[in-house]
Amino acid sequence: MDVLKDISAAKETFWLNPNLKAVNDADFPISDEQISDASKRLERFQPFLERTFSDCPDGIIESPLKEISGMKTSLNEDGADICGRLFLKMDSHLAIAGSVKARGGVYEVLKYAESLALREGILKEADDYSLLCDQKEFFGQYTIQVGSTGNLGLSIGITAAALGFKVIVHMSSDARQWKKDMLRSKGVTVIEYDDDYSKAVEEGRRNSDADPMSYFVDDENSVDLFLGYVVAAERLAKQLDEQNVKIDADNPLIVYIPCGVGGAPGGVAYGLKRRFGDNVHCFFVEPVQCPCMLVGMATGRHNEVCVQDFGLSGITEADGLAVGRPSGFVGKTMENLLSGIFTVEDKRLFDWLRKLNVEENVQIEPSACAAFAGPADRMKHDDSKKYFENIPIEKCIEVCWATGGSLVPGEIMQQYLTAYVED
Ligand SMILES: *Cc1c(COP(=O)(O)O)cnc(C)c1O
């Protein structure tokens, strides 16, 4: 496969999914019932979230959808060909965790807390869930553990610590210091590994399995985590409606999402395919040194392959995407639903980070900027160009999913704004 030659050479490329199907013929392994169950659970937790997190005053963890016309013009000046409308889905500014992980991570912790509280008789489904604000001693008997490159740890750590759980976050060497510091300040135990994400997960799982009172959040296989992300789709549909943006066959929705292990982009894209069917086209973006989902899906070997098998380092400035081995669960779930995957060089992430800052006064982290590879490059690669020839691009709605950034400390953002600048 030519695309795998590009991958091994760490060249920017595009993989077109040959297994994409029309939704009527596609496999949707997660049921609508599971999705509405997740959505209702988040509703039940509204009073709890409202009382616990000052940045979540209505108890709904949701982010703005912002049209970014200045960014569109600027990308076009650099050679892109965006002729429809361009939007930014600002999960970078989600409450609690400042990243897309505030969807999946928070949801999984809430679900676990609910299951314990129901089981032990301290909660009924019909109760006002804000009563869980005062159960720290109860939850303190239990431990929650997770392996993370940073942001998942933040979302799990902040939520679980607020409920009263003991929390242990196993951080890979990619994790930024400020994320570890922030967690420790909230009483979370952070264990650091001089190794990659897969190692942090493995150690976390082992540690948790050895303790009967410990629960492990499994980023690679968790259906609950995935469901937390899926709910984003109905929320986006509502926002598009509110902004009078119609999505149909003549006005398709194109969505670009940065991908690490796959859970967040997979869940969001799955929900969107369920909601908008053939009128939405979903693409992932990965760093050239870390295209784990691409190698997994393109070879069909999913979590049996890793980027090191293709001679890549797995090292990237996009810390949220620094995952060498993909989730097999997500790769298989997205087999008929994902349109394709772009890869992007690190340096360009910082160009877009600056551009977004100047044009829109929005600050996001490098990982999140990967989304711009979609609109920037879709006419550059032969296979993506071919794909888009069948789409009425002058009428399409393009959404770049900004996956993180609002918790980045000011001085670190200043470093990002000057990184890789050539004199
Ligand atoms: C986690 C993360 C992603 C990707 O999510 P995965 O579930 O790992 O694929 C993208 N961007 C940011 C900022 C993240 O933190």
d(CA 325, CA 303): 6
pLDDT tens column, 105-143: 999 999 999 999 999 999 999 999 999 999 999 999 999
Give the model's pLDDT for residue 11: 98
Q: How far is the CA of 90 from the centre of ligand 1 (A)?
A: 13
Place of tokens 């607020």: 162
Q: Is pLDDT above 60 for 404? A: yes
Give the model's pLDDT for residue 174: 83
Collapsing DSSP to helix, strand or coil, 304 comes out as helix
Q: How far is the CA of 82 from the centre of ligand 1 (A)?
A: 25
Nearest CA owner, ligand 1 atom 2 = 320
DSSP conformational letter for 247: -
Nearest CA owner, ligand 1 atom 11 = 403
Atom of ligand 1 nearest to the CA of 259: 9
- Both tokens assigned to 203: 């150690």
DSSP labels, 343-399: EE-HHHHHHHHHHHHHHH-----HHHHGGGHHHHHTTTSHHHHHHHHTS-GGG-EEE
Give the model's pLDDT for residue 421: 78
d(CA 155, CA 229): 13
* pLDDT range class, residue 320, cuts 50, 70, 90: very high
Give the model's pLDDT for residue 408: 96
Q: How far is the CA of 367 from the centre of ligand 1 (A)?
A: 8
Q: Is pLDDT above 70 for 150? A: yes
Collapsing DSSP to helix, strand or coil, 21 comes out as coil
Lowest-confidence segment of 2-16, 193-207, 253-267, 352-366 by average pLDDT = 193-207
Helix (H) / strand (E) containing 15:
strand 14-16
Neighbours of 302 (CB within 10 A): 21
Helix (H) / strand (E) containing 104:
helix 101-119
Q: How far is the CA of 127 from the centre of ligand 1 (A)?
A: 33
DSSP labels, 74-97: HHHHTT----SEEEEEEGGG-TTT
Q: Is pLDDT above 60 for 423? A: no
Q: What is the mean pLDDT of the chain?
A: 96
* Residue 230: HSE in the Cβ half-sphere, 13 Å Cα cutoff: 28
Ligand 1 shell residues, CB under 6 Å: 99-101, 151, 258-265, 320-321, 323, 365, 367-368, 403-404
Quick one: which of 287, 296, 284 has its CA closest to 325?
296
Angle between helices 32-44 and 263-276 (to 10 degrees): 110
The best mutation among 151, 221, 284 to test binding of ligand 1, ranked by most ligand atoms within 8 Å of the C-beta, falls on 151
Q: What is the chain's percent helix, strand, coil content, to nearest 5?
A: 50, 15, 35
Backbone φ, ψ for residue 86 (5° rounding): -115, 130
- Distances in Å between the Cα of 216 and the Cα atoms of 143, 261, 267 are 9, 16, 19
d(CA 312, CA 392): 36
Q: How far is the CA of 262 from the centre of ligand 1 (A)?
A: 7
Strand 85-90 with 65-67, pairing: antiparallel
Amino acid letter for position 110: L
Q: How far is the CA of 259 from the centre of ligand 1 (A)?
A: 6
Quick one: which of 312, 208, 228, 192 has its CA closest to 34?
228
Atom of ligand 1 nearest to the CA of 365: 13
DSSP conformational letter for 24: G
* pLDDT range class, residue 420, cuts 50, 70, 90: confident
d(CA 149, CA 403): 14
d(CA 285, CA 287): 7
Mean pLDDT computed over 239-264: 97
- Distances in Å between the Cα of 261 and the Cα atoms of 130, 249, 254 are 33, 31, 21
d(CA 144, CA 205): 11
CA 412 and chain centroid, separation? 21
d(CA 184, CA 177): 11
Atom of ligand 1 nearest to the CA of 323: 8
Place of tokens 């040194």: 289
d(CA 373, CA 375): 6
Mean pLDDT computed over 361-390: 97
Place of tokens 């995935």: 226
Atom of ligand 1 nearest to the CA of 104: 7
Atom of ligand 1 nearest to the CA of 267: 7
The best mutation among 91, 94, 101 to test binding of ligand 1, ranked by most ligand atoms within 8 Å of the C-beta, falls on 101
Nearest CA owner, ligand 1 atom 14 = 320
pLDDT tens column, 39-87: 999 999 999 999 999 999 999 999 999 999 999 999 999 999 999 999 9
Q: How far is the CA of 128 from the centre of ligand 1 (A)?
A: 32
Q: How far is the CA of 278 from the centre of ligand 1 (A)?
A: 25
The best mutation among 96, 99, 172 to test binding of ligand 1, ranked by most ligand atoms within 8 Å of the C-beta, falls on 99
Q: How far is the CA of 121 from the centre of ligand 1 (A)?
A: 35
Atom of ligand 1 nearest to the CA of 265: 9
- Both tokens assigned to 94: 């989600």
Q: How far is the CA of 144 from the centre of ligand 1 (A)?
A: 20
Mean pLDDT computed over 363-371: 98
Q: How far is the CA of 131 from the centre of ligand 1 (A)?
A: 32
Give the model's pLDDT for residue 299: 98
Nearest CA owner, ligand 1 atom 15 = 320
Quick one: which of 234, 222, 231 has its CA closest to 263?
222
In the beta sheet, which residues pair with residue 281? 254
Amino acid letter for position 205: R
